[in-house]
Amino acid sequence: MPSKLFSRILVACSCSLGAYLSISKLGGFLVFGSPGFLGFCVFVLPVLAFPIQLTSIWNTSVALLGFSLLTCAYLGAIIYIGNHSIRDIETSGAHIFLFIVDLFILLGAHLANQLASPK
């Protein structure tokens, strides 16, 4: 039972970090919208972080897959905009580090959930 409780705590932390990421990027979505695929990846995908994190309450593997795809698409769009420079990404305010931390928290919740479920 302790691993199930640990999984729920990690899911709560992941959802709260996803809510912060969604709220912090909501202004860019409201101002710029999504003019194309690149705009969709930069402005809409971060806003979808919280709804994807909420699916982790139901199934952590679905949330892990969805959030990893979201993080990869967002990181790819930021790298493309930043002229393929990792140094520019650090100073752009894109919160890439928080997306990666949230991905690892969700991975920990998924592993704890797998340990808790008997097979």
Q: Could you tell me the pLDDT band of residue 1, with boundaries at 50, 70 and 90?
A: low
- Helix then strand then coil, % of the chain, to nearest 5: 85, 0, 15
Tally of domains within the chain: 1
Summarised one tens digit per residue, pLDDT across range 31-62 is 777 678 888 888 888 888 999 999 998 998 99
Q: Which residue range(s) make up the domain with 13?
A: 2-116
How many whole angstroms separate alpha carbon 91 and alpha carbon 53? 26
Summarised one tens digit per residue, pLDDT across range 103-115 is 999 999 999 888 8
